[in-house]
């Protein structure tokens, strides 16, 4: 038992598992939160408004949905580095910088998904709200309520992308132990050192975390009246 404890302590100490879990949770939570707010707002706005160049905007967004995270990470790094336009923020090699990069990656995904859903459902919801005498605020709330299933999938997709991302957080965060090392960058580090078993162990923890979040989200949906769960 003592030997097992020693192995465990050494392992935790070597790669900073506890801190990598903490950093992963903070980073994925805040990046998903900010990207969800932005993505849902922009997706609904894109569906509602007609403006010149709308098709081009949609196309650019679709391109960004599939953009390699490492490229976005590089862009975020260029923006945040000391001589970059956002250098004054001093966000390079910080969790804030990693959240910034993640928001750039996830927002187009959530925005694109919300737009696709909204094109199909929002006009009918708006028309219904109008026939019921709902004002702009009530219509907005109704849109969110009626599209909650679709929004849920968009947010969960964004969260999945956030928690599994390596390249961008590596570039912007720097994989600093006990500081900006996430579970995915820790796994990458362990693999580099040939510690495959520890890497698998961290991967299992990552999967358990994803499962827990999914279960909590499903519980929330069930309370919201989804009978398919």
- Say how far apart CA 194 and CA 50 lie, in whole Å: 54
Asked if residue 127 binds other proteins (CB under 8 A), the reply is yes
What is each CA distance from 3 to 8, 11, 155, 177, 195, in whole angstroms?
9, 12, 43, 25, 18
Sole binder of other proteins in the list 2, 88, 223, 227 (CB under 8 A) = 227
Stretch that binds other proteins, among 11-19, 44-52, 132-140, 189-197 (CB under 8 A): 132-140
Asked if residue 45 binds other proteins (CB under 8 A), the reply is no
Asked if residue 132 binds other proteins (CB under 8 A), the reply is yes
Asked if residue 192 binds other proteins (CB under 8 A), the reply is no
- Say how far apart CA 171 and CA 165 lie, in whole Å: 11
Stretch that binds other proteins, among 5-13, 57-65, 95-103, 140-148 (CB under 8 A): 140-148
Using DSSP, state whether 89 is helix, strand or coil: helix
Stretch that binds other proteins, among 25-33, 100-108, 133-141, 162-170 (CB under 8 A): 133-141
Q: Which is nearer to other proteins, 52 or 133 (CB)?
A: 133
Asked if residue 144 binds other proteins (CB under 8 A), the reply is no
What is each CA distance from 135 to 49, 119, 123, in whole angstroms?
18, 21, 15
Sole binder of other proteins in the list 124, 200, 208, 216 (CB under 8 A) = 124
Asked if residue 138 binds other proteins (CB under 8 A), the reply is yes
Asked if residue 88 binds other proteins (CB under 8 A), the reply is no
Using DSSP, state whether 225 is helix, strand or coil: coil
* Residue 91 CB coordination number (10 Å): 23
The least distance separating other proteins from the CB of residue 162, rounded to whole angstroms, comes to 27
Q: Residue 21: is it exposed, middle or buried by C-beta count within 10 angstroms (0-12/13-18/19+)?
A: middle
Q: Which is nearer to other proteins, 192 or 225 (CB)?
A: 225
- Say how far apart CA 209 and CA 206 lie, in whole Å: 5
Asked if residue 74 binds other proteins (CB under 8 A), the reply is no
């Amino acid at each position: 038992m003592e030997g097992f404890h020693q192995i465990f302590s050494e392992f935790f100490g070597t790669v900073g598992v506890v801190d990598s879990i903490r950093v992963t949770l903070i980073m994925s939570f805040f990046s998903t939160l900010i990207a969800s707010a932005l993505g849902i707002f922009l997706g609904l706005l894109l569906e509602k408004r007609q403006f010149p160049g709308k098709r081009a905007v949609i196309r650019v967004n679709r391109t960004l949905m599939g953009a390699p995270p490492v490229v976005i990470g590089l862009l975020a790094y260029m923006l945040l580095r000391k001589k970059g336009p956002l250098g004054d923020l001093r966000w390079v090699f910080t969790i804030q910088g990693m959240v910034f990069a993640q928001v750039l990656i996830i927002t187009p995904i959530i925005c694109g998904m919300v737009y696709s859903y909204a094109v199909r459902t929002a006009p009918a919801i708006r028309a219904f709200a109008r026939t019921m005498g709902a004002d702009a605020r009530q219509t907005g709330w109704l849109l969110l309520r009626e599209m909650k299933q679709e929004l849920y999938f968009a947010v969960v997709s964004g969260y999945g992308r956030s928690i599994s991302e390596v390249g961008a957080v590596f570039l912007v965060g720097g994989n600093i132990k006990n500081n900006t090392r996430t579970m995915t960058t820790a796994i990458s580090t362990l693999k580099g050192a040939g510690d495959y078993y520890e890497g698998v162990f961290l991967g299992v923890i990552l999967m358990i975390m994803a499962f827990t979040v999914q279960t909590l989200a499903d519980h929330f949906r069930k309370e919201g009246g989804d009978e398919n769960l």
